[in-house]
Amino acid sequence: MKPNNILSTTQVARYTKGKEYVLGLDEYVGEYHFRGNEVWSEFEPSLTSKKLDIYSPYLEVRRYNLIKPENKKLRDYVEPYHMIPVPTKSNYDIGNITRYFVKNRYSDFNSIIEIDTNQVKNYGNPGGIDNVKYQLESLLWYISLNERTVDRISLLNSTNVVILNKKMSGLTDYIFNLFEFSQLGI
């Protein structure tokens, strides 16, 4: 089935440097777009777009996926999408929130995406984010003063980011405002 020009369900203008998708047996490098849960070649839908499959570093797995297309139903995963946390009054009363991040394990560039709890709940399950392709990490983030000083919030958030950066490299480049979502309005 070829994609049509209905762009309302299409995410266009993406690029992969490789190790994310394959076309047949070959690793795909180039422009791509999403149509629903499917990945297609080229920046936007066209008659020449080709459906791409999830990359595997193992040629045997790629061959098997071509021979057994029904196997793809077992990995009916979706791509993560960016969500900005919206702290509640209760979060501010408690003084912190938990933030969630995923990173593509096979990407050479910093591909960290902040996601919401709904995506976290389905992580690793069909219809959710692929736990083989994406690493998931959580971060305790301080947002209100209560008895904490401004310096203390900065220190706590900075420390948590640096520690988590050891597991998910690139996080220190992704998070640069240590007072994000805080009551300080900085």
CA distance to 1, 95, 134, 135, per residue, from 179 (Å): 48, 12, 27, 25
Reduced to 3 states (helix: H, G, I; strand: E, B; else coil), residue 44 is coil
pLDDT tens across 16-32, in order? 898 889 998 899 999 99
- Choose between 117 and 77: higher pLDDT: 117
Please give the share of the chain, as a percent, with pLDDT higher than 90: 40
Question: Is the full-model pTM beyond 0.85?
Answer: no
- Give the separation between CA 32 and CA 8, rounded to whole angstroms: 16
Q: Is 119 exposed, middle or buried (0-12, 13-18, 19+ CB in 10 A)?
A: buried
State yes or no: pLDDT of 109 exceeds 80. Answer: no
User: What does the DSSP 8-state code read for residue 72?
Assistant: G
Helix then strand then coil, % of the chain, to nearest 5: 25, 30, 45
